[in-house]
Structure 1
C-alpha cells in the first residue's frame, strides 16, 4: 500500500504499526469467538482514537488498509457526515466483521444525512448482512421517528421472514420486533404474539442481570421498567 500522509502529519503506516504493537493474543481469541479478526483491546483502541482526534483523511486511509482494527479505528476518528451516499454503501458492503458492521451503522451511518435514503434500499438488498443494516436503521426510526413508517407492514414482514432469516438479519429483525412492542402499545400484543409463535432467540443464553433478547420477554421487561420509572 502506498504511503499516505494526512494533513495532521500522521501516516497510515505509522498508525498500522501502532495497532500491530497493540496486538494481544488473548484479545484476539476473545474477539474471534464473535467473528472479529483482530487482537486489539477496544479500550486501548479508543484511547488511540482519542489521541488522534478527528482526522477524516486518515480515517479513509485506514479504512482501505484491509485490517479490521484499522477499520474500527477509522470509524472512531472520522467525520460521519462527510461520507457520500455511494461511499457509505460501498463501505457497508466491505464491512464483513460484525463489530465493523455494527460500528459503521451506529457510529457513522445513523449520523449521516443519507441514512434515510439508504435505509429502504438496504432493507431490500439480497445480501442479508446489508439488509440487516437497513433493519437496524428502521429500528432506530421505530424508536425515535416513527412518523411515516408502516408498522403493520413491518410486522407482516417480520412474521413471514424472521424465522428462517440468516443469523445477523434475524437478530436485526428481532430487535425491530421488540422495539415496536416496546414503543407502540397499539401493536404490543401482536408483537408479543409473533415472538411467542416464532420462538426466535427463545433459548438464547443470557447472563445474570441482563434482559433476554427473546422478544416477548424483552418487551415485557422494558415496559415494566418504564412503568416503574426505572428507565427513561
Structure 2
C-alpha cells in the first residue's frame, strides 16, 4: 500500500466506523468510532509511513491520529514536535497511545518527562507522570522516589481527574516495585482515600492503592 493517499486512508477509516464503538468510547471521553483491532490491522497493511503519519495527525481526527501513531517512526520527532502533539492530542486514548508508543521510544523522553511533570496544564502533567511510572517500573536508577511520594502526598487529593489517575498509578507502582517505600505508600493511600470507592468489576483489581498493592504483592508471593 505504498501509494495510498491521505484521502484514500481517510475514506477507509470512515468505512471502518461503527456507531456502537463510538457510543462505548464516548463513555470514556474518546470520540473515535473504529474498532482498535481493525485499526491495528489497517496500520499493519500500511506499514511505517512517517510522511503519511504527519498528514493524518494534522487532520485532528482521533481515529486518524491513532493510526498515525501506529505507522510513524517515533525517533523521527523532535522534542518540540512531541511537546506540541501531546498538547494537541485531545482525547485520552490518543494521548495515552502517543505517550506509550511514541514518546517512550524517543531520545527526548527523559527531558520531556521532567518538563511535563512541572507543566501547569494538568493534562500535560499527567503525561509526565505516565513517563515517571514507566521509569519507576523499568529504570528507577536516579529517581528520587521519596521526593515523588512527597509531591503525590501533597497534590494528588485535589488534582484534576486525569492527573489524579496518573499520580495514583505512579504511587501504586512505587509501592509494588519498591518494598522499602511500601509502608509509606500504603499510608498515603489510606489517608488520601483517592479512588477508594471506585466501582471495580468482579475479578478486577481496585485502583485504590492499599487494596491494589496488597493484592499484587500477595499474588507475587504465591508464585
TM over 0.5: yes
TM-score of the superposed pair, with normalisation by structure 1: 0.94
Q: Distance in 1 between matches of 2:174 and 2:125?
A: 18
Contact kept, 8 Å, 2:195 with 2:207, in 1: the verdict is yes
**Which residue does the alignment assign to 1:38?**
32
Give distance in 2, aligned partners of 1:17 and 1:157.
46
Shift >6 Å, 4+ stretches: none
RMSD: 1.0
Give the aligned partner of residue 84 of structure 2: 90
The correspondence for 1:159, drawn from 149, 153, 158, is 153
Which residue in the other structure is 1:144 paired with?
A: 138
Partner of 2:178: 184
Paired with 1:117 and 1:211, the residues of 2 have a C-alpha distance of 33
Per the TM alignment, residue 119 of structure 1 is displaced from its structure 2 partner at its CA by 0.4
| Alignment correspondent of 1:4 | none
The answer to whether the 8 A contact 2:2-2:46 is kept is no
User: What secondary structure, in the 3-state scheme, does the structure 1 residue paired with 2:157 have?
Assistant: coil
TM-score, with structure 2 as normaliser: 0.98
The Cα offsets for residues 123-165 of structure 1, whole Å up to 9 and x where unpaired, read as 1000000000000000111111111111111001000000000
> Which piece of structure 1 moves more, 152-161 or 8-17?
8-17
Match of 2:213 in 1: 219
TM-superposed deviation, 1:8: 2.6
With 78-87 and 171-180 compared, the bigger mean Cα shift is at 78-87
1:116 equivalent in alignment to 2:123: no
- Distance in 2, matches of 1:101 and 1:15, equals 21
Inter-partner Cα distance in structure 2 for 1:71 and 1:104: 9
Deviation at 1:66, TM superposition (A): 1.2
Which blocks of at least 5 consecutive residues in structure 2 are unaligned?
Answer: none
Q: Supply the distance in 2 between the matched residues of 1:41 and 1:161 (Cα, whole angstroms).
A: 36
